Amino acid sequence: MAALDRRPRAWLIGAHDGRQPRLVAVMVAEEVRLDVVTVNYRSAAEIQRLSADLQELAVLGIAYHLVVVDCSGEMASDADSADMHVIDPGRNLGYGAACNLALTEVTADVTALLNPDLLIDPTTFAALVRAGCSDGAIAWTGVLHNDDGSVQRNTAPPFTLGRLAAEYLLGVDTSFAITTTRRIVTTISGAVLLIRTAALRQVAGFDPQYPLYVEDVDLTERLSTIGPVVQYPMVVAVHLGGRSSAHAPTTTTTLLHASRIRWFQQQGRGRGFMARSIVVTGCAVRWIVRPTARRSLNPLAIWTAGAASYQLAALLPPRVQ
């Protein structure tokens, strides 16, 4: 594995002796280069806010460049700058394919995949970047909070039919609970995901058959076969969530469940049928007992989209015209 691209960086610390400032110390740390990738779908305001937060990384020894893939075509007026480059693919590619496109622009040794709807803590995020770099992690994340202050369960053990049944039929959250220590995980579902760029290229990035949802689970499970995938206990951001999917809740909800079915279809026809039955049964029960879910949940559409021959990309919302 190539060494991380780092350069010395110095900070001068001043103190008062009662008359005038004087230099009392020089702190030297290694500057880490980082490429940050995010995907825009009707989230231009959130991306501008994220960009402003990221600018604080410079004083923390993180030299970053932000690559934005604009899948809704609304950032044409945002001129490229030294800190941000906007790629317009001309259509909504979906998250995985958009990140793969951004990977052609990445030059740093570490790539950070960030959702636009994040309120990051730059100091803790910089510490997270350095933790994974020094620890030998292949892919890593921190702890996220939801906007109500609760902890977002963004890591999990291997994705299995047992977990699927527990979640859909029993209502059990099988993701890992909050951690206070560093831990090895198998999958990260994630608004914050840092990856060694060489490893990301080694596994050929995201699988394009998952245009949205499960693409991160699939990616991190593949990464876990070549090196440690790690969660650190530091709280790095608040994830507001749902900003993009809110524009097309029924189609994106259908895509979420159908993508989970597709995961198991890759493991054989029988497992795919079992997954399809579990997911649709669970969704049908939810549709019956929770009237509020009917606005975005369509079990028949999920069954149809769960067919192995169905092209999941057909469920992607169109870009802004």
User: DSSP assignment of 158-200, as one string?
Assistant: ---HHHHHHHHHS----S----SS-EE-SEE-SSEEEEEHHHH
CA-to-CA distance for 75 and 117, rounded, in angstroms? 16
What is the tens place of the pLDDT at every residue in 58-87?
999 999 999 999 998 888 766 566 678 999
- Is the pLDDT higher at 5 or at 93? 93
- Is the pLDDT higher at 286 or at 179? 286
Query: Is a pLDDT exceeding 50 seen at residue 16?
Result: no
Query: Is a pLDDT exceeding 90 seen at residue 17?
Result: no
Q: What is the mean pLDDT of the chain?
A: 87
Query: Is a pLDDT exceeding 90 seen at residue 133?
Result: yes
Instruction: Report whether 126 contacts 61 (CB < 8 A).
Output: yes
Chain centroid to CA 46: 15
CA-to-CA distance for 26 and 98, rounded, in angstroms? 42
**What does the pLDDT read at residue 294?**
85
Chain centroid to CA 155: 11
What are the backbone dihedrals phi and psi of residue 111, each rounded to the nearest 5 degrees, phi first?
Answer: -115, 130
Q: Which CATH architecture has domain 30-239?
A: Alpha-Beta Complex (3.90)
Instruction: Report whether 77 contacts 46 (CB < 8 A).
Output: no
**What does the pLDDT read at residue 321?**
52
- Is the pLDDT higher at 28 or at 288? 288
**What does the pLDDT read at residue 19?**
41
Q: Which residues of 278-302 are buried (b: 16+ CB within 10 A; e: fewer)?
A: bbbebbeeebeeeeeeeebbbbebb
Task: Kindly report the pTM of this predicted structure.
Answer: 0.86
Residues of the chain with pLDDT > 70: what percent?
86
CA-to-CA distance for 54 and 51, rounded, in angstroms? 5
What is the tens place of the pLDDT at every residue in 193-209?
999 999 999 999 999 99
Residues whose CB is less than 8 angstroms from the CB of residue 232 and which lie 6 or more positions away in sequence, other chains included: 128, 131, 132, 140, 141, 142, 143, 182
In this structure, what DSSP letter does residue 83 have?
Answer: S
What are the sequence ranges of the domains in the chain? 30-239, 248-315
**What does the pLDDT read at residue 240?**
87
CA-to-CA distance for 261 and 159, rounded, in angstroms? 11
CA-to-CA distance for 189 and 192, rounded, in angstroms? 8
pLDDT tier for residue 30 given thresholds of 50, 70 and 90: confident
**What does the pLDDT read at residue 319?**
81
Give the number of residues written for the chain.
Answer: 321
CA-to-CA distance for 197 and 314, rounded, in angstroms? 30
